Structures are given as C-alpha cells and as structure tokens.
Amino acid sequence: MSAAIQDADATRPPFKPQQQDPVGLESKMDPAPDYGYETYKGTGKLKGKVAIVTGGDSGIGRAIAMHYAREGAHVAIAYLDEHEDAEQIKKHIEESNVECILIPGDISKEETCQDIVDKTVKKWGKVDILVNNAAYQGPMQDDFRKLTRERLEFTFKTNIIAYFSMAQKCVEHMSRGSAIIDVCSINAYMPQPAILDYASTKGAIVTFTKGLSHQLIGKGIRVNCIAPGPVWTPLVPMSFDKETGAIVTFTKGLSHQLIGKGIRVNCIAPGPVWTPLIPMSFDENTVEHFGKETVGTPIMRPGQPKEYGPIAVFLADEAQSSYILGAVIAVTGGMLIS
C-alpha cells in the first residue's frame, strides 16, 4: 500500500468527539491536522520570493506558508492573536533556512492591513506573493433575520473587504511575475444556509478574483483562487454548541419559516479540511463523522491542509502557471462546483 493511501486511511472518520470555543486551536485537535511536514520536499520553485499569508498560523494558511518555505520563500504570517499556533509554524518555516515574521492583528481593520504590508516591505523590500486566506465564520444561525448588522459587517470586513485592502496595498510593491491567490470555499457555489453571511462573502471572493485578474494582468500580476471543500480545521468543532445535534440546513430551517408566505427555499447543503475551524463549527458528535456522513464527499474523508499547499505553490510559481488567470481551482474531494 502506498504511503499516500496509508495517510488517507489514517484520517478517515470516525474521529474522537470534540468541540472548541472560538477562535479554535489545532493544538487541541485529535487527530492533529496534517500539514505535510514529514512528506513535502521542496525543489526551490519560489527561492528568494517574499510571501504574505493571512491566517497563516493554522489550517490551510499554515499549510501554504509551510509549503512556500520548503520551496525557498520568505514568509510573513498575519494572524489573529493565536500566538501558540503562530510560534509553531514560525519554527517549522525557519527550519527550511528561510526567514519568517509574525504579524498579529485584526485584518477587518484598515490599519492592520497597512501594518502587515509595511512590516513585510521593511523586512524584505518587496512582496511577490499575497495569499488572501483569513476568514471569519460565525456560529450557525438557521434564521437569517437574526444575523445582526454587527456580525454581517464584521464578516464582510474580514472576508472580502480585507481582500481588497491587502491587494490594494501589496500591488504597490509587486513586480511582473507576482501572484495574488485568494481562498474562497465550496460555499461560493453550494451555500450552506446556516452560515449565509459567510457563504455570501465566499461568492464575492470569486467575483473579486475574476475581476481583479483582468485589471492586474497588464502589470504582469496573476490573480487566481482556490476553492476548498471539507477540510479538517478547528472551524468544525468551534461553530456549533455541544447541544446542537447537527447542521440545521436552510431547507429545514428557513424554508419552514417562509413557506407560510408562499416562498419556497431550496438548497444543496454541503458539509464543511481537518483544521481548527472544524471543531469550532460542529457539535462533538458531528465532528466524529466529519467528512463522511456529515459532508458526503465521494472520497469519504475530509481534506488535510497538506493537500492545499502544493496547489498554492503551483499558482504562485510563474514557471508552472503563467497561463492561468482568474481561475478557481476546486480542491473538494470530488464535490462538484459549477
């Protein structure tokens, strides 16, 4: 049996029941997310490049940061005060004989975005790669009328306005051959109704990527997007309280509320990559079968962060992806997007 198959079998559900409070720590996840520390060997594809990865302390962002380091890039990690996770990935990055700086802060704030870029440019004098990855997903809410203005504004400021801000500030320090990589979600195509605010921002990211790619190609800057499917991150054991039996879908929630008004609501509800986002999102019993019964991917397991890093390397490396522009790369375990 190949090592890849053995690794996949080791991460198939059932998992140990678990639940976390926000913001979610992967150090508390069992099994721990797999970032490819032991398996990924770089070949210098990004040697001397400078990358900014928002949300680079955990989950998909952490995997991307590690893979970039293995390929020879220096990495600035922007993160939201999860210092334990950030210090761990900084240590792993520096083991690849490249430099890493940690920049904590809330990217929903304009001044934080400016600070991230300023500190990166002060350290290395340029930006070659921007990975817009950080995102906020609030607790599940099956009644969209209960989504507060405060939550909506914070979600949109973090998940899409920050993407604008980071790109605006980075472009001034980018040269031809640079790349911007946005991370959206399968929710952009199959919105999970109980996280309607989050899903809406993911759809906006797809539009942002496609539009910005046309604006910046004249400067020689490529913009593309990665759409993750179900991933083992701390979001899953974080977003549901322990008493919530399962995801309340839009069909069972809002559709029942609005049928009395003659309004029909239908939706294909996907499951939520094994990172701290998972134990934040589901009750502990739902987490136990995450990626199988909950999500229903054809591959019958959630993705691991290490399965996203090489895609981000590919999109950042002009030698490999020079003719790819405004694309959304689906990494979904067989769940289809259209």
As annotated, the active-site residues are: 198
Q: Beta 179-183 vs 129-132: how paired, if at all?
A: parallel
Q: Residues 244, 142: contact at Cβ < 8 Å?
A: no
Backbone angles phi, psi at 257, to 5 degrees: -70, -35
Confidence (pLDDT) at 304: 87
Q: Beta 328-331 vs 179-183: how paired, if at all?
A: unpaired
d(CA 333, CA 297): 6
d(CA 172, CA 176): 12
Tens digits of per-residue pLDDT, 21-45?
Answer: 655 666 677 777 888 888 999 999 9
Confidence (pLDDT) at 256: 44
Confidence (pLDDT) at 270: 29
Confidence (pLDDT) at 325: 96
Question: Hey, what CATH topology would domain 3-331 get?
Answer: Rossmann fold (3.40.50)
Closest by CA to 103, choosing from 93, 95, 112, is: 112
Element (H, E) at 51: strand 50-54
Domain ranges of the chain: 3-331
Tens digits of per-residue pLDDT, 249-302?
Answer: 333 344 444 445 545 444 222 233 555 655 655 566 555 555 455 455 677 778
Collect all residues with Cβ–Cβ distance below 8 Å to 99 and sequence separation of at least 6: 74, 75, 123, 124
Which pTM value belongs to this model? Answer: 0.81
Q: Residues 158, 202: contact at Cβ < 8 Å?
A: no
10 Å CB burial of residue 4 (0-12, 13-18, 19+) is exposed
Confidence (pLDDT) at 32: 76
| Strands (E) located in 91-241 | 100-104, 129-132, 179-183, 222-228
Q: Going residue by residue through the chain (338 aa), what tens digit of pLDDT does each one get? A: 444 444 555 556 566 665 666 556 666 777 778 888 889 999 999 999 999 999 999 899 999 999 999 999 999 999 998 788 899 999 999 999 999 999 999 999 999 999 999 999 999 999 999 999 999 999 889 999 999 999 999 999 999 999 999 999 999 999 999 999 999 999 999 898 999 999 999 999 999 999 999 999 999 999 999 999 878 666 655 544 443 322 233 333 444 444 455 454 442 222 335 556 556 555 665 555 554 554 556 777 788 889 999 999 999 999 999 999 999 999 888 887 76
Closest by CA to 55, choosing from 29, 24, 31, 18, is: 24
Backbone angles phi, psi at 183, to 5 degrees: -110, 120
Kindly calculate the radius of gyration of the chain based on its CA atoms and give it in whole angstroms.
19
